[in-house]
A and B are shown apart, each in its own frame.
Chain A
Amino acid sequence: MNTVIETSNLVKRYRSLAAVDGLDLTVERGEVFGLLGPNGSGKTTTILLLLGLTEPTSGTVRVLGLDPLRNPLEVKRHVGYLPDQIGFYDNLTARENLLYTARLTGLSAAEANTRITEALERVRLTHAEDRRVGTFSRGMRQRLGLAEVLIKRAEIAILDEPTSGLDPQSTQELLELIVELAREGITIVLSSHLLTMVQTICNRVALFNHGRIGLMGRVSDLTSDVLGGTHVVEVEAEGVDLRTALNGAPHITGVTEQRQGLWRVDADADARPDIARRVVEAGGALRTMSIRQTTLDEVYVRYFEEERIHAAA
């Protein structure tokens, strides 16, 4: 069986507010799956439901074929969790903290100690293992949290906002560790609003909006679905209305004027030569033209813009 996480029509209500509202989600083994969305869109609630830490109002969850409500211990034995803003016992050392959770997992003291040594080495915290966690930086705490997932030898690692509040270097280090885990075949579910990061490491993403999944799929598919194109060309030109000039041109999926003389052209291929030719033919003076691949940020912003327009209408 290759589906490791499956939810169907999952609903979680807090009084009248539906935090998760009819969620259908499947995650395959070995995937890196991203849960994206603004704060309060139901990502953390979804994660808690997957772990059986909160009860769904209706709908079903299956993690590794098990029901986290009925069999939470077995689920939690195979799923590692790195909570948002992870906390440790500040008065204990890194090793003592890990030993406590390793013992809770049911490991013997000897087995726990060898696994802790290994895990600390992998997250590069061996030098700090006897320091109190109170002295740790945010990045070190996150790595320590990841060490906990390693010690458990989890099949699925669920990471809630793993890089929030980290400096760029710590973010990079953490991402490398996550990619390493994924390469070893651990299924990774991570939530984030740092989209560029998600784009680089996720196979598939789900865009959350008010407790529902707005969009789900591969990053490249999403960019073409929402923006209609995978490339963005910024054109600075004078004396021409680009919208009429590019009317009917191949590959062009959208033209928007960002300010006087600056246009943004969405295309599903590199259409620069064509754009340049048309600008010149229309008698315009082409100043600059630059191309880049679309990022998830744009998908995100555009998607929620459209949502707002729909909601207002």
Chain B
Amino acid sequence: MPQREGSPFTGLATVALKEAADHMTSARIHLVMLLVLLTAFGSVYAAIGQISQTVSEDQFLFLRLFTTAREPLPSFVAFLGFLLPLVAIALGFDAINGEYNRRTMSRILSQPIYRDALLTGKFLGCLLVIALCLLVLWLLVTGMGILLLGLPPSGEEILRGLAFLLASFVYAGVWLAVAMVFSTIFRSPATSALATLTVWLLFTVFWPMLSPLIAGAVVPVDPFDPMTAVHQVELQRAVARISPNTLFGEMTLAILNPETRSLGIVFANQLSQAVIGAPLPISQSLMLIWPQLACMIAALVVLFTGAYVSFQRQEIRA
């Protein structure tokens, strides 16, 4: 196979900006974003009500905006963990097969660009939209907090907020990559949307139920050997961590609750001389989520590579 000439990035920026502009003006994204904004406002407003009722002194009041839940509403973070995949899926499920269905694929690829630029450009365009949405959301929540709580966030809270943004961005990126993979595999957008939603439901609803079952089946607890119980819990965690939702949950927990010291099981002897409830510095919290973040980025890269390979091998007949 001869080496091809010319840069695979020709036209990349054009495709990315066009995709981003398309999404920004599409009714589909407007609807999903409206939903996200409404839930964000609702949960943050409820959280503020809850926070102003408690009188205890708190070093990280601002972060409580994100994590405090008041019945019946879940917290902002819980909402985001649920809705971000939906935003990403709405952006990505017809990325490639939509071009075939509009019959624009052969016309676009007859321009002097490589397929790489089309796929990567679409991915980057969607990521840009996600990044913008998250940034706006975070600024809105912070603004609401300043207005209604009457105090500004501290420097560390801003840093933690940015780390949380990055985590959410990668999390949404993983789901975008899942949607993109299905959009290259299936020719019908309805099929690819359903397939992506199935995966999403599996990980959001069923995975938390499945992981104890799997762990219980693989490592049964022996009542005379306490270590088997430890093994089972560890396996259950490992299985649960296959789901990006679990990883996202752990990351937000560590970033937004500075008191979090470990994401695994902790033995009593490991806690000797520890000051329970004392917050970790942000660098330590970041160390804590580093494996999770690296896993998510790896998943994103692997999924995108899958979409890339599948797209490169496709025949582009009209």
Specify which chain B residues have a CB less than 8 angstroms from the CB of A105 in the assembled complex.
Answer: 111-112
CB neighbours (8 Å) of A76 from chain B are 110-113
- A89 to B104, Cβ gap below 8 A? yes
Interface residue tally of chain A, by bracket? 35 or more
A48 at the interface (CB under 8 A from B): yes
The answer to whether A83 and B103 have CB atoms under 8 Å apart is yes
Please determine whether B103 and A106 come into contact, CB atoms closer than 8 angstroms.
no
CA distance A70 to B4 in the complex (A): 4
Q: Would A81 and B107 count as touching, CB distance under 8 A?
A: yes
* Segment at the B interface, from A96-104, A120-128, A183-191, A297-305: A96-104
Query: By the criterion CB–CB under 8 Å, are A87 and B6 in contact?
Result: no
Are B102 and A106 neighbours in the complex by a CB distance under 8 Å? no
Mostly helix, strand, loop or mixed at chain A's interface?
Answer: mixed
Pick from B15, B102, B106, B110: contact of A90, CB under 8 Å: B102
A100, B14: Cβ atoms under 8 Å? Answer: yes
**Interchain CB contact under 8 A, B317 and A48:** yes
In A47-94, the 8 Å CB interface with B consists of 48, 51, 53-54, 67, 69-74, 76-77, 79-81, 83-91
Complex interface: chain B residues within 8 A of A21 (CB): none
Q: Are B111 and A104 in contact (CB under 8 A)?
A: yes
Q: Contact mask B96-120 → A, CB, 8 Å, 1/0?
A: 0000001111111111111000000
As a 0/1 sequence over residues 27 to 52 of chain B, the CB contacts with chain A under 8 angstroms (1 = contact) are 00000000000000000000000000
With A and B bound together, what is the CA distance between A84 and B317 in angstroms?
A: 10
Does B58 lie at the interface of the complex (its beta carbon under 8 Å from any beta carbon of A)? no
Q: In the complex, what residues of A have CB within 8 A of residue B113's CB? A: 73, 76, 104
Q: Check if B147 is an interface residue, CB within 8 A of chain A.
A: no
User: Does the CB pair B316–A73 fall under 8 Å?
Assistant: no
User: Closest residue to A101 on the B side, CB-wise?
Assistant: B111
Contacts of B107 in A (CB 8 A): 81, 83, 86-88, 101, 145, 148
B103 lies within 8 A of A86 (CB): yes
Q: Is A44 an interface residue (CB 8 A)?
A: yes
Closest to A69 in B: B2
Contact of B112 (CB < 8 Å), options: A70, A73, A148: A73
CB distance from B114 to the nearest CB of A (A): 7
Q: Report Cα–Cα, A67/B6, bound state, in Å.
A: 13
Given known pairs A103-B14, A148-B107, the reply for A72 and B6 (CB within 8 Å) is yes
Complex Cα–Cα for A259 and B22 (A): 63
For B106, the chain A residues whose CB sits under 8 A away are 48, 53, 81, 83
A67, B114: Cβ atoms under 8 Å?
no
B1 → chain A, closest Cβ, in Å? Answer: 8
Residues of A within 8 A of B15 (CB): 104
Question: Which residues from A are CB-within-8-Å of B22?
Answer: 89, 91
Residue pair B104, A73 in contact (C-beta under 8 Å): no
A161 (CB) vs chain B CBs: closest residue: B318
Is B231 in contact with chain A by the CB < 8 A criterion?
no
What 0/1 pattern do residues 134 to 160 of A give for CB contact below 8 A with B? 000000000001001000000000000
Residue contact B318 to A84, C-beta cutoff 8 Å: yes
Bound form: Cα–Cα A228–B97 in Å: 50
Cβ of A74 and Cβ of B112 under 8 Å apart? yes
| Contacting pair A83 B112 (CB below 8 A) | no
CB atoms of B4 and A69 under 8 A apart: yes
Q: Report the nearest B residue to A54, measured CB to CB.
A: B315
Measured CB to CB, the closest approach of chain B to A182, in angstroms, equals: 20
Chain B neighbourhood of A74, CB < 8 A:
5-6, 112
Chosen A-B contacts, 17 in total, with CB atoms closer than 8 Å, are A14-B315, A48-B106, A48-B317, A51-B110, A53-B110, A70-B2, A73-B5, A73-B10, A73-B113, A73-B114, A79-B110, A81-B107, A87-B102, A90-B102, A91-B26, A104-B111, A104-B113
Known: A73-B10, A91-B26. 17 other contacts (CB 8 A): A14-B315, A51-B110, A53-B110, A54-B315, A71-B4, A72-B114, A74-B5, A81-B106, A81-B110, A85-B318, A86-B103, A87-B103, A89-B22, A91-B22, A100-B14, A104-B11, A104-B14
The 5 A-B pairs with the shortest beta carbon distances in the complex, nearest first, are A87-B103, A73-B6, A81-B110, A104-B111, A76-B112
